[in-house]
Structure formats: structure tokens, C-alpha cells
């Protein structure tokens, strides 16, 4: 049995990670969610550096959900690194941030973000969002 496509959530805020997990459960999604707690770890994960070389434990994601304000390396740095890797040229990267700054949205688009969402409050609202994301990027057919 093939496990459903995985998602990498790059987020330093633990409560947001918890909310997303709850929302995933609410939405009835079985896709594994892997977490990177800062920008550098996100790049290590995708590049398969160190412990992330084990793709059974750390499979390549079908979708990256990326916060912008991150320790070590910012979301924009991660995004720009991803777009420089030929194997990740078409990897969906969705920005998920608390920033309502229009300039951030423009910058994200410029760096090649697939979509941009402002963080939502309320588990049901978040569940609604992840359901939409999963339908687009995390179905078997959408998997790479």
C-alpha cells in the first residue's frame, strides 16, 4: 500500500503546528505532515542532508507549506533556494504567513511561490484551507 503524498510544513511556532495537525485530523486527511522548525532545516530536509537522507523516514513532500518569518533562514530564502534546484522547479510551495503586507505577497510571487495564504484562526477555518490545499496538491494523482 502506497502511503499518501506527504506535506512539509516549515513553521517555528509550535502552536501553529499543533493547530495544523488538529485541522488535518478534522479535515480527515491522512497525508503525513513533516515539520521543519526553521529555514535551514527546511533546506536540509529537501536536500536530504544528514538525517534527512533517509527518504523512508523523511520522504520528499508533494507540497511545501512555508511560513515567511523563520529563524536562521527566512521563508524567502528557502523559496529562492527551492526554485534554484532543478528537481524542485515545479514543486508546489504555498506561503502560509501572518503577514498581511502586500509587499510580502508580491515578493513571494516574484520568488515563484505557488500560492499565498494569510494564517487563519479557528480550527474549522484552518481545516477548510488544508482541505482545499490537499485536494489540489496532495491527492495520489497530483503526487509527483
Partner 1 sequence: MGAKPTPRTENPPPDWSSLCRAVAERAPRPMVSVEGTSHIVRYVNPAFCRLMDKPREQLLGKPFGEMLPEKDECVRLLDRVLRTGQPESHTEQHHSKPHPVFWSYTMWPVMAEERPVRVLIQVTETAQFHDKMLAMNEALMVGSVRQHELTEAANSSNVRLQAEIIERTQAEAALRAARLELAQANAALEQKVRDRTAKLQETVAELEHFSYTITHDMRAPLRAMYSLGGVLLEECSECLEPTRLEYIRQIVDAADRMDKLITDALQYSGVVRQHFEPEPVDADALLRGMLKSYPEFQPPHANIRIDSHLPVVLGNQAGLTQCFSNLLANAVKFVHPGRTPEVRVWAESVQSPKSKAQSQPAEGSPVEHATRNTEHESVPSALNPQPSTLNPLVRIWFEDKGIGIEKQYHDKIWQMFQQLNKSYEGTGIGLALVRKVVDRLGGKVGVESEPGHGSRFWLELERANGQPYHEPLTPDRPQ
Site residues for partner 1 per CB under 8 A: 13, 15-16, 18-19, 22, 69, 98-100, 102, 119, 121-124, 126
Our CB check for partner 1 shows the closer of 22 and 53 to be 22
Our CB check for partner 1 shows the closer of 50 and 122 to be 122
Taking the CA atoms of 57, 2, 20 and 85 in sequence, report the sign of the dihedral they define.
positive
In contact, 129 and 97? CB cutoff 8 Å: no
In contact, 19 and 11? CB cutoff 8 Å: no
Alpha-carbon distance of 109 to 112, in angstroms, equals 5
Alpha-carbon distance of 10 to 66, in angstroms, equals 5
Q: How far is the CB of 51 from partner 1 (least distance, A)?
A: 27
Our CB check for partner 1 shows the closer of 1 and 100 to be 100
Our CB check for partner 1 shows the closer of 44 and 77 to be 77
Q: How far is the CB of 102 from partner 1 (least distance, A)?
A: 7
Torsions phi, psi for 29 (to 5 deg):
-90, 135
Q: How far is the CB of 20 from partner 1 (least distance, A)?
A: 10
Q: How far is the CB of 76 from partner 1 (least distance, A)?
A: 14
Amino acid at each position: 500500500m502506497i502511503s499518501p503524498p506527504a506535506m512539509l510544513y516549515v513553521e517555528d511556532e509550535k502552536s501553529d503546528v499543533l493547530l495544523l495537525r488538529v485541522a488535518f485530523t478534522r479535515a480527515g486527511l491522512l497525508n503525513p505532515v513533516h515539520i521543519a522548525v526553521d529555514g535551514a532545516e527546511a533546506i536540509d530536509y529537501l536536500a536530504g542532508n544528514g538525517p534527512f537522507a533517509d527518504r523512508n523516514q523523511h520522504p520528499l513532500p508533494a507540497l511545501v507549506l512555508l511560513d515567511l518569518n523563520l529563524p536562521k533562514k527566512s521563508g524567502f530564502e528557502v523559496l529562492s533556494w527551492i526554485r534554484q534546484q532543478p528537481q524542485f522547479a515545479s514543486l508546489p510551495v504555498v506561503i502560509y504567513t501572518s503577514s498581511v503586507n502586500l509587499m510580502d505577497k508580491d515578493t513571494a510571487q516574484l520568488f515563484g511561490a505557488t500560492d499565498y495564504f494569510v494564517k487563519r484562526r479557528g480550527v474549522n477555518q484552518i481545516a477548510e484551507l488544508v482541505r482545499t490545499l490537499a485536494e489540489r496538491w496532495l491527492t495520489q494523482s497530483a503526487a509527483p
